[in-house]
A and B are shown apart, each in its own frame.
Chain A
């Protein structure tokens, strides 16, 4: 058995920070477009759809990277409740990054709208048109997005707690490293 690693693999770190920017941008784009009647609404919507599909593709790549590279462990002295919180929040982050684009895609399908990523790039519908299904998915999209935003905030606060207060190398493991 090889020695434990202290940092995430470079490809994992790259995907983490790239997707961090994309997901946070996506959350702000979504919140802004849903609250705007100006041209911004349309402009943001046209950004939101292709960016969402890009995140969906990247999260699949990222899961593959996660299971094919070695992860640094959590510090041995970390209280069990924090270990559990770390595990659950990571599971939630992956789950939401994967589900939100699919729910968005499905809700456009359920509205009977063409799923257009640009003026000519069209994706197939993934659920049949149905008003009840649309209403459910559209609300789910909002609630799940808020859940993702608060999970990201928690993740950020926890990372800073590790980096600034515990100073236990957890934040460093995603920031830099030679391996």
Chain B
């Protein structure tokens, strides 16, 4: 079939050597233009572009590389439980997770640093990532933090902040003045710095509130969109401890001890934006007094080691969302999604090197 001879064609006059050269050059131009366009699009010929790997390389540069661990929020512990919806958010979102009933949850408490051995008292920030798996197979993943706002509003500013925090080769510590200089040049970080001033490293994951910080849209069955920020607030747990113990790893012990006594609960709150509230800037708080919907109760029942627990292989990509929840145009969301993917590929490639021990 393929080997049949083609019909006889009228002979064409031969090309002159010059014409052959010009035509070969033409082919070369087509190939070079197409390859050049491709290498521009993939970033190779566009060195100024902030790429996912640029962010993750900066995290590795600042924190060191710990094979198998997340490149940020590396120290953590897996938790499993469920979300008990009360149905209150059904009018706002068609997501199955908000219907009356239970949705299984796999979560992870963590500290915000790329060092999995950082002392628990080294930062006042704690984080909680959650994966809700709806009965229809769709998922809602979110990474929340104990601060109410993020330090910056754009991935570019975040990258500059990482650069300011880069260790000086001479001292192994960030250059003095680099971070204050960064904050001085970024007045949008003022609300975050205000929070840091009063925040103390808490003695427990259980006593913290965790905020989604980035805004999203809830979409109901009628297609109406409502901008929200979500968060969880501890229910019936003791007040945050003012001072943290000296031991470097008390958070995990505290969590395990509390869970042995019974499940830990948080209320899931949806704060509704009003017209004019910034939905694309995670560094700006929304004014007080916004309507808050209590959507149900997060119940965490059990902790698991992060090197063997179910959360280990979950990328808490904030853009994995079920129908009924949509991203806002907050530029940090796409950046988080893209950078997490880069970190996820690095650590899944190294999963065999991950020690099952707590420390190497």
Contacts and interface: CB of A to CB of B under 8 A. Distances in A.
A73 B4 contact: yes
A83 to B, nearest CB: 9
A85 interface: no
Interface string A1-27: 001111000000000000000000001
A176 interface: no
A35 B52 contact: yes
Contact of A41 (B7, B313, B338, B349): B338
B240 interface: no
Interface string B307-350: 00000111101011101001101010111011100001101110
Nearest to B219: A119
Contact of B51 (A28, A37, A74, A120): A37
A98 B323 CA distance: 29
Contact of B52 (A27, A34, A76, A139): A34
B24 A165 contact: yes
Contact of A131 (B3, B7, B348): B348
Nearest to B159: A37
A32 B225 CA distance: 29
A135 B342 CA distance: 11
Interface stretch (B42-50, B119-127, B186-194, B202-210): B42-50
A131 B52 contact: no
Given A70-B1, A131-B351, A138-B345, A35 B51 contact: yes
Interface string B214-226: 0000000000000
Contacts of A112: 313-314
B5 interface: yes
Interface string B32-50: 0011011001110000011
Given A122-B137, A160-B26, A165-B20, A132 B348 contact: yes
Contacts of B51: 35-37
Contacts of A58: none
A95 interface: no
Nearest to A75: B6
Contact of B7 (A3, A120, A160): A3
Given A28-B38, A72-B6, A36 B26 contact: no
A32 B338 contact: no
Contact of A37 (B30, B52, B312, B348): B52
A41 B334 contact: yes
A151 interface: no
B271 interface: no
A173 B54 CA distance: 46
Given A135-B348, A156-B30, A35 B3 contact: no
Interface string B48-80: 011110110000000000000000000000000
Contacts of A160: 26-27, 30
Nearest to B52: A37
B315 A113 contact: yes
Interface string B169-182: 00000000000000
Contacts of B9: 168-169
A153 B335 contact: no
B87 interface: no
B319 to A, nearest CB: 6
Contacts of A89: none
B31 interface: yes
Interface in B71-93: none
A50 to B, nearest CB: 15
B23 interface: yes
A55 interface: no
Given A111-B315, A165-B15, A6 B27 contact: no
B6 A132 contact: no
Given A6-B7, A157-B30, A132 B329 contact: no
B138 interface: yes
B139 interface: yes
A116 interface: yes
A120 to B, nearest CB: 4
A168 B11 CA distance: 9
A144 B320 CA distance: 26
A113 B131 CA distance: 10
B41 A132 contact: no
A111 B320 CA distance: 12
B247 interface: no
17 contacts: A3-B7, A5-B4, A32-B41, A35-B42, A37-B55, A38-B334, A40-B334, A41-B335, A42-B327, A42-B333, A72-B6, A73-B6, A111-B344, A113-B317, A120-B138, A134-B313, A153-B31
Interface of A: 3-6, 27-28, 31-42, 70-76, 111-114, 116, 119-120, 122, 129-132, 134-135, 138-139, 149, 153, 156-157, 160-161, 164-165, 167-169, 173
Given A37-B51, A135-B345, 5 more contacts: A35-B49, A111-B313, A111-B315, A112-B314, A157-B31
